[in-house]
Structure 1
Amino acid sequence: MTTAGELRSGKSHKDENFPVASWIIHPRHRALILAFYNFVRTGDDVADHATLPAQEKLDKLDLLEAELLGKGDTQPEAVALRKAFAERGMSPKHAQDLLNAFRLDVTKLRYEDWDEVIHYCSLSAMPVGRFMLDVHGEDRSTWAASDAICAALQINNHLQDCGKDYRNLNRVYIPRDALAASGATVEMLGEARSTPALLKCLQALARRTETLLHEGRSLPGEIKDTRFALEVCVIDAFADKIVNLLKVRDPLSENVHLSKGQMAGIALSAMAGGLFRRVTGQMPRPARTGRVI
């Protein structure tokens, strides 16, 4: 029997739009974070597999969950994460939420409105931030700001890959009502270049995503662990740069991704700025009104 891990795309934590268990994070946390990442990446790659039938994808995801919960030892990524959770006395809930997002990826190919996209993000992205906060022993009052940043990261990714997702998987996260409001259609995502109507839609969504980033801007100041707070500063800076690209560029025909060199420069600047603000007490305060999620 093919394990879920054998269906991996080859993408690793070094290929993501954000740092994963980077050197900024304290070494005591990295093994657990990487075990979580490998489990999640495996599930994501199963859901995104180009030729695997839908029912087989769902069966693989069910098997990963079963073994995460202790029912079998055939899936190495599930077994490794199960043991890592046990060592830290942590619940598997965040990983299970992500598996539910991957099941949606298999069964739900269209989203009607912003609220449906945010619901998807509550399963596909917010649990990652919550997991990281739990790993570092942070208070759950930090979840609101983290949820906003994680949703923004996910929607940035949806906008960056909207053409590829449609062409390769017939999957569209761009809400139907947003397309209709701009006079665009789903089929336009298959073109080599966005029409004016589609570009208007995508850039309006990027601006809405920028509002999510503003909602989460207080997160580094709410986090007690300095190293983790600095990593969040880096992630936020990457997301901010990407959303600004998406506000002015066409993701179907132009580059809206960061190069390794750009990421390194942004990371150093974000860390320096974050450390300065932390030392001087100039961290942003939490936003308590005007919630968008």
Structure 2
Amino acid sequence: MDMDKEQRQADFDHCERIIKKHSKIFYYAFSQLPSEKAKAVYAIYAFCRTADECADGSQSSKKKVQLLRQLKKELDLFNEHEELDKPLWRALRHVFNTYDMDIGPFYDQLTGQSMDLTFTPPKTMEELERYSYYVAGSVGLMLVPVIASGSSAELHSSVISLGVAMQITNILRDIGEDYREKNRIYLPEDGLTHVHYSHHDLHNGTINENFIELWEKLAARAESLYSKFLFNIELLDPDSRIPVYLSAHVYRGILDAVRNNGYQCLTKRNYVTKAKMAQINAAANNAFGLREGDAFTVEK
């Protein structure tokens, strides 16, 4: 292996460690892509994780603003082909050289993270979905050139739907954690008012019919967006369909995990069990007609 290949491998290994540490679901799913595509996803994830840590780290608000501005400057340099000599940017340069990438969603991701820095609770579901586009739907658009050779408005709309669905799922899973640790309430204010669920109720960890009604309204919206994406999954490259199918269904499974725990998402962390992941994996193999010897496995 020549020095350039060794450096490139080291850069992608760096990105792989980031996704493996911070998102077991995405790593589980996307590690099953062909190697080159998997590496591209790892690099894209590493960028998004870096942006997320600028806004959600333990630093002061002033420091977070500085970090996000610095990342924006580094992205500007990258866009001008003058990127810093760092593993993330070297890996992303290889991705941009390999695939027909669009820089726009990367800037949208930074816009989403800046919305967290100046956080105000969403007033409506429309505001929540707008925010969800910037922090998650943008990621779907980043991935399109890697997972789909063809491009269409329908495909772009579908991957945005998947990203928004995943973000709403994150919000429904992390209601208590976001409130306690970040002092953020992502539930739409008009929805809280409609079901007569107050900030005092949230502070007290109250789970009642009012809470469940609003939770299920948001979950229903997420599930409709998952269905929209899955209906169009054939727009993806054949070698990318199962990994993305897995990520969508495992994430969707978080909603059922919360339900199965009596909607306890205020003091309990909910996750998809290995047994459930194995079921989803089997369903994916069955849906795409893989022979037993070709089937993906949970252990991979």
TM-score range, shorter chain: 0.7 to 0.9
The equivalent position to 1:249 in structure 2, one of 254, 263, 281, is 263
Shift of 1:37: 1.1
Cα gap change, 1:166/1:253 in structure 2, threshold over 3 Å: closer, same or farther?
A: closer
Contact 1:17/1:238 (<8 A) preserved:
no
Separation (CA, whole Å) in 1 of partners of 2:277 and 2:258: 20
Residues 1:39 and 2:51 are matched in the alignment: no
Separation (CA, whole Å) in 2 of partners of 1:12 and 1:190: 32
For residues 239-286 of structure 1, the C-alpha deviation after alignment (integer angstroms, 9 at most, x for no partner) is 332223345523124553113x24641442232133129xxxxxxxxx
Residues 1:87 and 2:100 are matched in the alignment: no
Q: Secondary structure at the match of 1:125?
A: helix
2:35 alignment partner AA: P
Cα gap change, 1:147/1:234 in structure 2, threshold over 3 Å: closer, same or farther?
A: same
Which segments of structure 1 move beyond 4 Å, counting only runs of 4 or more?
71-75
Contact 2:196/2:210 (<8 A) preserved:
yes
Shift of 1:161: 0.4
Residue in structure 2 matched with residue 123 of structure 1 by the alignment: 134
Shift of 1:235: 1.7
Moved more, 132-141 or 171-180: 132-141
Separation (CA, whole Å) in 1 of partners of 2:94 and 2:18: 22
Gaps of 5+ in 1: 1-9, 278-293
2:138 alignment partner AA: P
Residue in structure 2 matched with residue 109 of structure 1 by the alignment: 120
Cα gap change, 1:251/1:78 in structure 2, threshold over 3 Å: closer, same or farther?
A: same
User: What is the root-mean-square deviation of aligned Cα atoms in Å?
Assistant: 2.6
Cα gap change, 1:83/1:11 in structure 2, threshold over 3 Å: closer, same or farther?
A: closer
Residues 1:217 and 2:230 are matched in the alignment: yes
Residue in structure 1 matched with residue 219 of structure 2 by the alignment: 206
Cα gap change, 1:253/1:119 in structure 2, threshold over 3 Å: closer, same or farther?
A: same
Q: Secondary structure at the match of 1:217?
A: helix
The equivalent position to 2:68 in structure 1, one of 61, 81, 96, is 61
Q: Secondary structure at the match of 2:250?
A: helix
Residue in structure 2 matched with residue 289 of structure 1 by the alignment: none
Cα gap change, 1:239/1:264 in structure 2, threshold over 3 Å: closer, same or farther?
A: closer
Gaps of 5+ in 2: 1-16, 291-300
Question: What are the equivalent positions in structure 2 for 1:39-188 lying under 5 Å apart?
Answer: 39-50=47-58, 52-70=59-77, 76=86, 79-88=89-98, 90-136=101-147, 137-140=149-152, 141-188=154-201
1:139 alignment partner AA: S
The equivalent position to 1:197 in structure 2, one of 187, 210, 218, is 210
Separation (CA, whole Å) in 1 of partners of 2:185 and 2:87: 28
Shift of 1:82: 4.7
Residue in structure 1 matched with residue 294 of structure 2 by the alignment: none
Matched-pair identity in %: 20
Residue in structure 1 matched with residue 248 of structure 2 by the alignment: 236
Shift of 1:179: 0.6
Separation (CA, whole Å) in 2 of partners of 1:235 and 1:216: 12
Contact 2:108/2:138 (<8 A) preserved:
yes
Cα gap change, 1:17/1:212 in structure 2, threshold over 3 Å: closer, same or farther?
A: farther
Cα gap change, 1:57/1:15 in structure 2, threshold over 3 Å: closer, same or farther?
A: closer
Cα gap change, 1:179/1:69 in structure 2, threshold over 3 Å: closer, same or farther?
A: same
Separation (CA, whole Å) in 2 of partners of 1:151 and 1:273: 27
Separation (CA, whole Å) in 1 of partners of 2:200 and 2:150: 44
For residues 175-211 of structure 1, the C-alpha deviation after alignment (integer angstroms, 9 at most, x for no partner) is 0011111100234333344244223321222122222
Moved more, 130-139 or 36-45: 130-139
Aligned residues: 265
For residues 101-121 of structure 1, the C-alpha deviation after alignment (integer angstroms, 9 at most, x for no partner) is 110011023110100011011
TM score, norm. by length of structure 1:
0.80
2:57 alignment partner AA: H
For residues 61-111 of structure 1, the C-alpha deviation after alignment (integer angstroms, 9 at most, x for no partner) is 121121122177668365335523442353322221111111001102311
